[in-house]
Structure 1
């Protein structure tokens, strides 16, 4: 694939650019639309199903240029399942339990094809911990977690797509850095990640603010699924001391947004799956950022985390632990200040608003 990778990347970009307007018309025709409500920031009916264009571009390019080994077949098989689940949800609406069951089925579908977390590296001593039979539930849990994380962050035009684009590029860069440890499998993942990034970029032309089409659950779930599976195929296979941490850094924003959502709902004694308007993008807009400024600010944070993930592959274990500690402290302080954690966070946001109002009167 690497010899023809530039052509493959260009083809994926062109297909996504050309197919997205067609998918937009189909979405209106079959009723796959998103209607505004009190939680959403858009004010008119918008077509969903945009993720179908991303999937078509990715799958068509991989089928044309990839060598169809078991792992690629598994990736595409699970992708088809998650796409069908998303289409049903975008057109009919599915209960949360049904969506979760479908996600479990799609995640488990890749295991028979050899896509599985087989070990976890202890970051403190570098020793491998073989998972054995526990590898299957760990794999399924990881794929479901990332799938839902990207799904939940999809609240502003271009946000989930841009976050996934940066994550795919970072995944390609990190896997390239570790290609010596992964062999041919690593180079294969580099190609797949770049094709995914090109497919997303072609779609973003129609999805960035002001969007003409949304990813929908079809797209946000597929992007989360694809990124999580590629991480298992690539970075998670590297026997390095920090290999278990790197995918979490690459996908830091969506994963932390989910974690903080669970935390604040637990604090407020609300159901974990109950939606709210306190996600990262909501809180940043509450601080006074515009729609576009919020998306670009989160892109910048994703870039910092992506660069940090690449740097981690160049450091010793002790240096990597220090960098991770610094990132963790920065994230917790920022999350509390912005207001995504809970009551303390909301109080600080209110205080900052008061200060802004006072300064404007002076």
Structure 2
């Protein structure tokens, strides 16, 4: 047990101590986020908070773990995505440039043996070995999770708390499924501890934002850890479990794509119709919105864990129930339908910012 406790406490301490220093650094190098019509906050805020999370995670791993190929690959890719995030937080990068950088970071793990090797058929349990096709599948998965967490980072503590819950869920599932996955279990717990130390400064009202440095690193780390751990189990439901663990950010991305396609807008063009925007527009406060989404993440996390202990038929029933509830709820609160007209969207934006500034 001490092998788990000490690395986690070290990561928590590093993150907690470093975040105020990183906050000062953000102001010095211009990594700041100014309010605009699409954002909820009403004052200039420092970004770059993810640097503290990355340094805490990396420091704890380097100090307590014996390096191997996969650990090196995880840290190398993480460094690349953090450097990309720093550039975006300080200078601003076009979406296409960021995508190229994300592909490079995701591809960096492949030579170190981190890749999806097979996919389990959820119907009959047969293994489909991917061979060389495992490379694009791995890159696509890591990029998808990276951008999913990046896009959900719209309220104080939202992306951090979502990632914290996902990391804990991942640790529990890997520990329960496979006794040989202790290394990945530990890494997920260290990531969770690194986030927790930062959340002290990031939960509403935030003193610092994750920035793209943090949201992309968290998405990258969760996506890579899923490849290293969850996808390695040869159970019929293993192909679904990572998607349920990260269900909310992944669905938010999917719904955003559907909305923008319906309204014939560019996929990369941001809007104010994400889940957290819609909940606040319906009357929830900033804090209530974040806590409500935490609750949804917890439900999905418990569901993901149950999928690994239920029979195939029971798991299929649970997935069906989840799918129905998600689609009905998403349609009801308006995250699937077309975005509001420009004037309406602007009015909603002003209301959200006014509500946030009063809390």
Short-chain TM bin? over 0.9
1:343 Cα deviation after fit: 3.6
1:179 Cα deviation after fit: 1.5
Any idea what SS the aligned residue of 2:251 has?
helix
Any idea what SS the aligned residue of 1:206 has?
helix
Equivalent position of 1:298 in the other structure? 293
Equivalent position of 1:51 in the other structure? 50
Return the alpha-carbon distance in structure 1 between the equivalents of residues 308 and 79 of structure 2. 33
Equivalent position of 1:148 in the other structure? 147
1:3 Cα deviation after fit: 4.3
Q: 1:220 aligns with which of 215, 226, 233?
A: 215
**Cα distance per residue 1:13-64 (max 9 Å; x no partner):** 1110000000000000000000000000000000000000000000000001
Asked if 1 retains the 8 angstrom alpha-carbon contact of 2:260 and 2:338, the reply is no
In the alignment, structure 1 segments of 5+ residues that lack a partner are 347-362
In the alignment, structure 2 segments of 5+ residues that lack a partner are 342-359
**Cα distance per residue 1:244-294 (max 9 Å; x no partner):** 100000000000000000001000000000000000000000100000000
Return the alpha-carbon distance in structure 2 between the equivalents of residues 146 and 343 of structure 1. 24
Return the alpha-carbon distance in structure 2 between the equivalents of residues 77 and 230 of structure 1. 14
Q: 1:247 aligns with which of 242, 245, 260?
A: 242
Report matched runs for 1:1-362 at 5 Å: 3-180=2-179, 183=180, 186-343=181-338
Any idea what SS the aligned residue of 1:247 has?
helix
1:66 Cα deviation after fit: 1.2
TM-score (norm 1): 0.93
Any idea what SS the aligned residue of 1:165 has?
helix
Return the alpha-carbon distance in structure 2 between the equivalents of residues 201 and 41 of structure 1. 23
Asked if 2 retains the 8 angstrom alpha-carbon contact of 1:336 and 1:344, the reply is no
Equivalent position of 2:352 in the other structure? none
RMSD (CA atoms):
1.5
Return the alpha-carbon distance in structure 1 between the equivalents of residues 328 and 139 of structure 2. 31
Equivalent position of 1:360 in the other structure? none
1:344 Cα deviation after fit: 9.7
In the alignment of these two chains, the number of paired residues is 343
Return the alpha-carbon distance in structure 1 between the equivalents of residues 285 and 133 of structure 2. 45
Return the alpha-carbon distance in structure 2 between the equivalents of residues 222 and 254 of structure 1. 14
Return the alpha-carbon distance in structure 1 between the equivalents of residues 106 and 338 of structure 2. 35
Return the alpha-carbon distance in structure 2 between the equivalents of residues 84 and 13 of structure 1. 22
Return the alpha-carbon distance in structure 2 between the equivalents of residues 8 and 26 of structure 1. 26
TM-score (norm 2): 0.94
Return the alpha-carbon distance in structure 1 between the equivalents of residues 182 and 129 of structure 2. 24
Displacement over 2 Å in runs of 4+: 343-346
**Cα distance per residue 1:134-182 (max 9 Å; x no partner):** 10000000000000000000000000000000000000000011114xx
**Cα distance per residue 1:75-109 (max 9 Å; x no partner):** 00000000000000000000111100000000000
